[in-house]
A and B are shown apart, each in its own frame.
Chain A
């Protein structure tokens, strides 16, 4: 177990370093930050001075090493070109917005996904099931920004029930700004959470449905029915439990995706999270922010994968050296 963990952690570190290197090699294709930093009256001498100050005159491996040096020796991720503030501060300020949004949309996706999945599996040919299945196609086929805009026009403009942008009122608890404690904060969460979670919900629903259909056909369900157990016990105690293993795996991986791909949802709803920060950083060629964000996202994915690997190791007896054979 220990050897396995050490091996996995060191592999993860290598992945992280490579992600950083690739990111830095791509930044010069994003554009030249100096043009954004200086006004239109800048002279050629200004451009040179700022370029040297920022170390942009150096090759990208050197820039990358300098960035790493700052991170490792001082825990310093640099100062945002765009805002003139330390990147670590900005990200710490923005992260709660993204994490709360990701949490709510994951919750929405899991609860409704499993609920609809089970329902449509049990009532295969009911008309409600058909409506759910057909409309779920919307979730997979429409792009996120379009869903967001449609929801805004329906619920903010036409009905006037929910806000079209922002986080509403937030409350600071420690260094964490939360929107969970105010009415406006909760209302502001609804539309972005649906927009962000719709795709994942559809995915989970379809997964649960097909797994469930598979399980319902298996022998032990027939035996359970033969034993005279109630429908409820058969469906929820026996069938659902056995469908959940793959669902948990997928959900874990999707949580990372929700955080990383909140970018579009955050832009549509002007949600002040790290995704919006990243989009602004790209437009401005704000290298310290882009670098830190990409590193953080890769840390996130690498750690989720690491945890999933370790969980497998614990759950799946076949991965253990002394693994015995145990059936259902």
Chain B
């Protein structure tokens, strides 16, 4: 039985906890949540992709800095003949874990599978008209119009073996009403650096190094086995690291950071996360349902929104609520996103007197009442941030009723447009401002603006946002992005708070930088000996 050796090593690690890594090549890895499914196209979700990245591979893969590097594709570019076509040259000699060759046919199959109605990845591929093979190692992707940032959408788009999918009846991702489990949910056959050994959902997943991996020699590949266990309870997760039962945990709670960092043989690594936390405000409706002002929307007045931004003490939130683990910001994108500038990132120092003056100018010197909706299980200290906001708003006369609830109740309020004042966090998987504009700034239509709870709607801005999708002149496109940001900032559409910081706790002997997407790629991990 294979799992026996793992248990032995866990026990040994527990005994030798503080000295060295018991078995340097076996990695015991824990994080709060488990992958939901091994089917690479069923769920577009962080922990699910993080596990899939070890087993499956995309054409272009993110590295530990989240920068795209060649993976199953060795080179790519826009076709010389047709600006609507991207051409990808595939890596030759790559084999799936079951020994089958990876060819253009598999890539075409995987794209079509990911575009299927029941796929959770299809929204990233909406612009794709056709994917076709040109020989065994060239793939052409034709889009509706020129799509300059298509490659950015492909870093979590995994390639499956066509033959394997057909043999196991998983040609399309599972439908929610299928009524049974499909083979791909607990079985996997990728080209990645690790091979699935066993999987018990929510309990334990064991991966072994793929000794036939094409990247041996290019990547360290020092980890020979990964034992992945979700540990939901934060205190238990930290205890498991302190006791030496696990070697690496993601999601170290901020209150335990010093404890882990000060423990013998352990260290904490951190990095800015690709996620900004901000408040959204309904600045467009003529009247609000969640306030006590009759017949008017106080948020419609720009002065009120500016006053709120001035009264929001971002430094205090960083120090008190986040214990230093955040980067306050004045814009709703993190620094590595195309379109970010230092000027956008600059945020005003809290100035209550000036904020009070603005409130008086707007005619709300006596303030008003409003309900703030907040999740309590989604972002780092989300509820505590909102509680701090209640106190800060009270200083300028805004009497905030806080409703903090689970994410399953919170997010429908934003998509259903029934909240006027809410907390939201947003990551930018494509590393381009267009993604943010599409979801948070464009007016709500069938395929855009689905998360725009501000109700902001401006035809010119919408036109500019749509132009980004097909503008191949990079300088011109960046200028448009700048213009849109200017509108967002001038209108004070959102109240940005901070960018989250990721903390990973690990044994001293491990060299492994924190990845901004919270997505470890274990092929890069090295052990100091």
- Contact between B239 and A164 (Cβ–Cβ < 8 Å)? yes
Q: Does B229 contact A (CB under 8 A)?
A: yes
Residues of B within 8 A of A40 (CB): 44, 426, 439, 451
Query: Complex Cα distance A244/B451, Å?
Result: 63
Interface string of A57-97 (1 = CB under 8 A from B): 00000000000000000001011011111100110010000
- CB of B10 within 8 A of CB of A270, answer no
A residues with CB within 8 A of B: 29-47, 49-50, 53-54, 76, 78-79, 81-86, 89-90, 93, 145, 149, 152-153, 156-157, 160, 163-169, 182, 184, 267-270, 272, 276-277, 279-280, 283-285
Task: Identify which of residues 96-143 in chain B touch chain A, using a CB-to-CB cut-off of 8 Å.
Answer: 117, 120-121, 123-124
Q: Choose from A32, A89, A160, A272 the contact partner of B409 (Cβ within 8 Å).
A: A32
**Given the interface contacts A160-B244, A164-B236, does A169 sit within 8 Å of B177 by beta carbon?**
no
Known: A157-B239, A272-B202. A283 touches B179 (CB 8 A): no
Q: Is B187 an interface residue (CB 8 A)?
A: no
Q: Are A270 and B36 within 8 A (Cβ)? A: no
Residue of B nearest to A36 (CB): B408
Interface residues of B in 439-463 (CB under 8 A from A): 439, 444, 446-447, 450-451
Tell me if B242 and A35 are in contact (CB < 8 A): no
Given A31-B406, A43-B447, A184-B7, A166-B229 contact (CB < 8 Å)? yes
Are the CB atoms of B37 and A169 closer together than 8 Å? no
Q: Which of the 9-residue segments B11-19, B61-69, B276-284 touches chain A?
A: B11-19
Query: Considering the chains assembled together, what is the distance between the CA atoms of A34 and B416 in angstroms?
Result: 12
- Whether the pair A41, B240 counts as a contact (CB closer than 8 A) is no
Chain A nearest CB, measured from B519 CB (Å): 15
Contacts of A79 in B (CB 8 A): 176, 178-181
- Nearest residue in B to A264 (C-beta to C-beta)? B233
| In-complex Cβ contact of A32 among B181, B412, B446, B450 (8 A) | B412
Bound CA span A307–B479, Å: 76
Residues of chain B lying within 8 A (CB to CB) of residue A90 = 201
Given contacts A35-B411, A78-B179, A90-B201, 15 further A-B contacts (CB under 8 A): A30-B409, A31-B406, A40-B451, A49-B117, A53-B175, A83-B185, A86-B181, A157-B242, A160-B15, A163-B11, A164-B236, A165-B240, A272-B200, A277-B202, A283-B377
Name, among B15, B203, B409, the residue most crowded by chain A CB atoms within 10 Å (CB to CB). B203
Q: Does B408 contact A32, Cβ atoms closer than 8 Å? A: yes
Question: How many Å lie between the Cα of A294 and that of B42 in the bound state?
Answer: 28
Supply 30 A–B pairs (Cβ within 8 Å), ascending by A: A30-B409, A32-B409, A32-B411, A35-B408, A37-B176, A39-B44, A40-B44, A41-B44, A43-B123, A43-B447, A44-B446, A53-B175, A78-B179, A79-B178, A85-B181, A85-B186, A85-B201, A86-B179, A90-B201, A152-B235, A156-B240, A157-B239, A160-B15, A165-B240, A184-B7, A270-B230, A270-B231, A276-B232, A280-B232, A285-B408
Given contacts A42-B450, A267-B232, contact A86 B180 (CB under 8 A): yes
CA distance A79 to B179 in the complex (A): 6
Q: Once the chains bind, are B203 and A272 in contact (CB under 8 Å)? A: yes
Chain B residue numbers with a CB within 8 Å of A82 are 36
When the two chains form the complex, which single residue of A84, A163, A167, A270 contacts B181, counting CB atoms closer than 8 Å?
A84
